[in-house]
Amino acid sequence: MIRDVDCDRVSKRYRVPSKLTADSGVRRALRRGASALWAPREEFWALRDVSFAVARGEAVGLIGRNGAGKSTILKLLTGITAPTTGQITIRGRLAALIELGSGFHPELTGRENAYLSGSMLGLRRHELTAKLPGIIDFAGIGDFLDVPVKFYSSGMYVRLGFAIAALLEPDVLLVDEVLAVGDVEFQARCLRRIADLKRRGVTMIIVSHDLGAIEQLCDRVLLLDHGTVAMSGSAHEVITAYQQLAAGGGVPAAARPIDSSGSLPLEIVALTVSGADGRSTLTVRAGEASTAAIAVRAGRAFADVDARLSIYDFEHGTHLVECSTAAIGQRCPVPPGESRIEFLIPQMLLRPGVYTLGATVRPTSEARPVAWRFGRTTLYVEGSVSSAGALLLPFQCRVAAAPATNPAVLTS
């Protein structure tokens, strides 16, 4: 196993000037000047003895509350700042998707900025020239390429930023909380691009509060707490632990999933959606066939359950669709151990956008569901179809002559 990223007992200390006593005038100024030079400073350890490795082609998620040290790790990995102790080894070209468009200059045109931030990411000029058509296409800013970016909408701004960074071909990619940029359609494309890179074997470290995305993209997740690695393991395990940690608050409500099981030994392990090609991905294409699955773990056999899969609008939480096995009269026995209840969807009739999935499982012997899972799985539907409505109704169109009016009918 080749380890592309290796953090060996890395610590990072920041020094913050300690607060000064209230004083006035010249004395205060002098004191402040002096303190800038030699007064003791308060120490703050952003990271303490953090060790972890990322294997080639592996995607590792970093989660944790604000101030847990996630961003500090990324800063050390990118070389923005140096560790206080410890050593980091990185094999291969590293690129980071951190705060898109942060390197843009408002007075310069999109093209000039593309060169500027491309070269900041270590891209050579001729490489960028070769990639420019792809960048323009991905960002969808064709007509605005030679317009100063100060005239861009904020959406165009981040799209260009993402396009430049995403079309790099790094060996190691760092992604910091950029999954929530642009409109929903663009988000879907970003995720698809990241999933694409992952398939191609790019090693990834992903920081996000979007636990759904983390769970679906990452092979392994590290939970950071107060600058140390509190836990490392499968996405499911660590995310569950994180929810317990975050139960005291501090995590935005939107990111706090409800995920629990009741009295019976039956739980939902995961929700997945795969497109027409059968690969488990985050994204499906509008109008295409897809399969949603509820993976369950049962302590004993259940003769029949009513499994329900729901799709919600990401932004407003509107309940759009519910697929219930009982409603279509499908008997659904669950064997002991792990199994998958699959929903075969012949055509995805949602318009391109972001959705969340929810599921409940109720043994038919019970009045209420015993396992449920909401708000954790994000579904990205992409496609070029645009529709003001939520659903895509399949239809054809023709122009017909107006039906001939029959005077006889009118008079009768």
Partner 1 sequence: MRTVGAPATAIADARPVVIRRADAPTWRPIGNIRDLAQYADLFRTVTEHRVRVRYKQSVLGLAWAIVQPVAMMLIFTLVFGRITRVPTDGAPYALFAFTGLVLWSFVSTSLNNATHALVSHAQLITKVYFPREILPLSYVAAAVFDLMVAMVVLAGLLLWYGRPVDARLLLTIPIVVAAALLVTALALLVSALQVRFRDVGLAVPLLLYLWMFSTPIAYPLSSIPARYRVFFELNPLSGLIEAFRQIVLGPALPSPSLLVVPLSLTAVLLPAAYALFKRTEVTMADVI
Q: In the complex, which residues of this chain contact partner 1 (CB under 8 A)?
A: 2, 14-15, 33, 36, 75-94, 96, 98-99, 102-103, 105, 107-108, 112, 115-116, 119-125, 148, 171
By C-beta, is 31 or 115 nearer to partner 1?
Answer: 115
- Closest distance to partner 1 from the beta carbon of 37 (Å): 9
Nearest distance from C-beta of residue 201 to partner 1, angstroms:
12
| E-strand stretches of 303-345 | 305-313, 319-324, 337-345
For the bound state, the minimum distance from the C-beta of residue 6 to partner 1, rounded and expressed in Å, comes to 9
| Residue 362 to residues 36, 158, 292, 304, 324, Cα–Cα distance (Å) | 65, 43, 18, 9, 10
Here the tokens at position 266 are 């039956």
* Tokens of residue 149, six digits: 């970016």
| Closest alpha carbon to 327 in 352, 346, 303, 310 | 310
Separation of alpha carbons 5 and 52, rounded Å? 8
> Rounded distance, CA 341 to CA 241, Å?
25
C-alpha angle 245/247/253, rounded to 5°? 120
Closest approach, Cβ 41 to partner 1, in A, equals: 11
When the beta carbons of 81 and 280 are compared against partner 1, the nearer one is 81
Residue 137 C-beta: closest distance to partner 1, Å: 22
Q: How far apart are CA 169 and CA 407, in angstroms?
A: 72
Q: Which is nearer to partner 1, 35 or 310 (CB)?
A: 35
The residue to which tokens 């910091």 are assigned = 176
Contact 147, 128 (CB under 8 A): no
Nearer Cβ to partner 1 (200/398): 200
CB of 19 to partner 1, least distance (A): 17
Q: Which is nearer to partner 1, 136 or 359 (CB)?
A: 136
Tell me how far, at minimum, the Cβ of 112 lies from partner 1, in Å: 7
Q: Which is nearer to partner 1, 100 or 292 (CB)?
A: 100
**Can you tell me whether residue 286 is helix, strand or coil?**
coil
3 vs 220, beta carbon nearer partner 1: 3
Q: Distance (Å, rounded) from C-alpha 236 to C-alpha 75? A: 26
